[in-house]
Amino acid sequence: MAQLGDVVYVVCAYSSVIEMYSADTLSPLRVGIHVNGMSHPSDIVACCHDRQLYVVDFDCCIWQVSADDHSSYRKWLPTDPTDTFDTAVYTLSLRSRHLLVTLEPRHIHQYNTDDRRLLRDIELPCYVKFILHAVETTRGTFVVCHEGTLHDQEQYAVSVLLFVICPIAIAYSMGQIIKSVCVCVCVCVCLSVCEHSHGRIS
């Protein structure tokens, strides 16, 4: 479900139609947006900057649909319209013009909505079994809900991904550093966990 202005947009599994509802009364609006070729939508987000909807078609692609011209839509990713993703795609989130995409089993992709450019490809630690959702904060960090922690693969947790700039020396001469580079290191910090036997958050 996503909202743009006074309209709420909803997708349902195995439906090629994006349903529309009034944000005030939740009453249905018109007949919805039919996206020819969309078969298994699983998530939707709306961008207020370009008034575009982005829809995950599970195991296939991401659609871009105009909120104003309902006949204007395309397979937005992968960039080749005849191609599909190599792995299952689950959820979307959007902040400004950055689209976050969660992929099976523990990858997060960040794209620029202006040019479809891949900005980041992040793989979570191997103890993460499955990513449920991810969002970008105003500080540029990512908050991730996932299954699998360092101590229990069946445990659910919320973690924050921090991006740390680290200088690394790559060349020495006579004991002196003559060349160094800075690399961005992703650090996963667990914020809270859910005790799956009791459903409690700690």
- Show the low-confidence residues of the chain (pLDDT under 70): 59, 164-186, 195-202
Instruction: Give residues with Cβ within 8 angstroms of 141, minimum separation 6.
Output: 160, 161, 162, 163
DSSP-based three-state secondary structure for 155: coil
Check residue 156 and give its pLDDT. Answer: 92
This prediction's pTM: 0.83
Long-range (24+ apart) CB contacts under 8 A made by 183-186 are: 186/122, 186/161, 186/162
DSSP-based three-state secondary structure for 67: coil
Tokens linked to 33: 């947006």
Tokens linked to 105: 């089993």
Return d(Cα 133, Cα 159) in angstroms, integer.
11
Return d(Cα 40, Cα 60) in angstroms, integer.
9
Check residue 202 and give its pLDDT. Answer: 45
Q: Half-sphere exposure of 130 toward its Cβ, with a 13 Å CA cutoff?
A: 10
Strand partners, 107: 103, 123
Return d(Cα 163, Cα 126) in angstroms, integer.
18
Q: Which is nearest to 102 in space by CA: 146, 63, 64, 66? A: 146
